[in-house]
Structure 1
Amino acid sequence: MSSSALVDWQLAGRTARKLAGAGPATTREEATAVVSELHAAAAAAVAHVEGLTGLHPVEGGPVPEVAVVDRPGWIDANTTGMAALLDPLAGALLERSENPPGPLATAIGSRATGVQAGGLLAFLSSRVLGQYEVFGTGGRLLLVAPNIVDAERRLGVDPTDFRMWVCLHEVTHQLQFTAFPWLRDHLEAQISEFVEATDLSPDALRDRMSDLMRGLADAVRGTDDDGASAGLMALVRDPEQRAVLDRVTAVMSLVEGHAEFVMDGVGPDVVPSVRTLRKRFAQRRKGRGPLDRVLRRLLGLEQKMKQYADGRTFVGGVVDLVGMEGFNRVWAGPENLPLVEELTEPARWVERVHGRPAVTA
């Protein structure tokens, strides 16, 4: 059983491509120049990221592809990735189901969630600036050109600086997974544990996913009642699943916080207007815009949303206490990854991993 029994991903992709806007107006020459500059910035960002972090890809490992895409290209990549991510769950549910749904019921249910998923993907396709694909095709760095151009125009910032700044963030993600291949294996293992703890029938899971998609649509429109939906947590009833979700949240907080730290840490020698970029980008994130509402609804709890921001606090706090070399012990293996409660208390991680009380460097 593939994940298409839960969500018709082909329909989701078609729906998203139909609903997604084309992006800001540019001439052919401008578009060609943007693509060329993003490829150059991504290539140049590698040395800056490695120099700041002291990390390097595994020798002899695959060289990640850099793809500058439009919104439909991002949609295609993510329908493939999400389908691959859900396949193990769908297969496990079928094996456990005593009365698997018939072909007609499967088709009707999966098409309904497919349309809903397509609407969400269409919305997100206009906001995502870049992404390193961990699942699906894997090992590919995506830069969404129309969204980067739209953001730099709205922010009123230097395009060259902004494009490098975005590339620094995404190349950091690329380095995390190419320097430490075990990180992807660890995430896949956590997903497997999550699947093992799932006791829903395919019909019940599809119904919950449908409810979640409807809630997300309400959140986008701003018609949701604050806290009315548990978001992804509605799919997680078992304590074992919640424990897995906490571990995944901590890992994602780490990798996002690390990328945020790097994109600011390279300094004005690399990105002259970095302070202006951070200030204006922070203002962009404030308030209760549509994406904020979607993320709150998707994650279910304000605290879950906060943990992603806490990743930046964690990385900066640990570097202050033990320096970059000391922080890099976080990549030694799963046992050194931060716990959820350590994200806001970096000293606790230092004491656990370094075996000594934390003292500011």
Structure 2
Amino acid sequence: LLALMTQLFTASTISPIDLLGEVFARLRGLSSSQSVDVTTLFLPERLRSVAREATTIMTVAEGHAEWVMRQVSREIIPHRDEFERTIDERRQATGVAKIVAQLTGIASKRSQYSLGLHFFEAIAAEDGDAPRRVFASPDGLPTANELTDPGRWVRRMGCNSNSVAPARRR
């Protein structure tokens, strides 16, 4: 992640005129029904793949944290169900809050948590040790495609099942 961030910041110099040109070109390509993620809107094309890779890593980290939190016994956290429900409700923005979330990229952050959580739920259902394998080496990290289809990761990592369901958006 540090290497990706370094690459992102060192390559991110662009003149204000070029940046505005790229932003206006992207805006012209949008339909009125498409949502706009401000961070993607302002990110130069040459840095998008680096940003996508960094987003994948952050999705893995956030999903793992969410999955671990949900593994904690209810005896340790007696109000865990209420806690989880509150978190899930706050992630379901509606009305003006939904528009603000889309414009600021918060909607993307919310989907990262649920996508990462589902990935870890799916691989753990196949093999209780699978979540540890994600962090055993850089090769264990899932790709963006594997996050949305945990079965790909299971097959690549040599787990014994092909039955992991594709990710669902919460």
TM exceeds 0.5? Answer: yes
- What residue in structure 1 maps to residue 50 of structure 2? 244
* TM-score normalised by length of structure 2: 0.73
Contact 2:102 2:108 in 1 (8 A): no
Compute the displacement of 1:287 (Å). 2.8
- What residue in structure 2 maps to residue 264 of structure 1? 70
SS of the aligned residue for 1:269 comes to coil
Contact 1:321 1:358 in 2 (8 A): no
Gap change, CA 1:334 and 1:293, over 3 Å in 2? farther
* TM-score normalised by length of structure 1: 0.37
Matches of 1:292 and 1:267, distance apart in 2: 33
- What residue in structure 2 maps to residue 118 of structure 1? none
Q: Partner letter of residue 253 of structure 1?
A: T
Matches of 1:339 and 1:249, distance apart in 2: 10
Compute the displacement of 1:246 (Å). 1.4
Picking from 331, 339, 343, the partner of 2:135 is: 331
Q: Partner letter of residue 193 of structure 1?
A: Q
Matches of 2:104 and 2:18, distance apart in 1: 16
1:163-202 alignment, distance < 5 Å: 187-198=1-12, 200-201=14-15
Q: Partner letter of residue 14 of structure 2?
A: L
Compute the displacement of 1:298 (Å). 2.9
Matches of 1:256 and 1:284, distance apart in 2: 16
Compute the displacement of 1:197 (Å). 4.2
Gap change, CA 1:230 and 1:281, over 3 Å in 2? closer
- What residue in structure 2 maps to residue 5 of structure 1? none
Matches of 1:268 and 1:355, distance apart in 2: 30
2:148 counterpart of 1:341: no
1:159-308 alignment, distance < 5 Å: 187-198=1-12, 200-201=14-15, 203-204=16-17, 227=34, 229-238=36-45, 240-288=46-94, 292-299=98-105, 306-308=111-113
Matches of 1:254 and 1:284, distance apart in 2: 21
Gap change, CA 1:330 and 1:291, over 3 Å in 2? farther
Gaps of 5+ in 1: 1-186, 212-224
1:119-138 alignment, distance < 5 Å: none
Q: Partner letter of residue 283 of structure 1?
A: E
The Cα offsets for residues 305-358 of structure 1, whole Å up to 9 and x where unpaired, read as: 5233201100111100111x2221110222211111111211111111236543
Gap change, CA 1:199 and 1:264, over 3 Å in 2? same
The Cα offsets for residues 52-107 of structure 1, whole Å up to 9 and x where unpaired, read as: xxxxxxxxxxxxxxxxxxxxxxxxxxxxxxxxxxxxxxxxxxxxxxxxxxxxxxxx
Greater radius of gyration (CA): 1
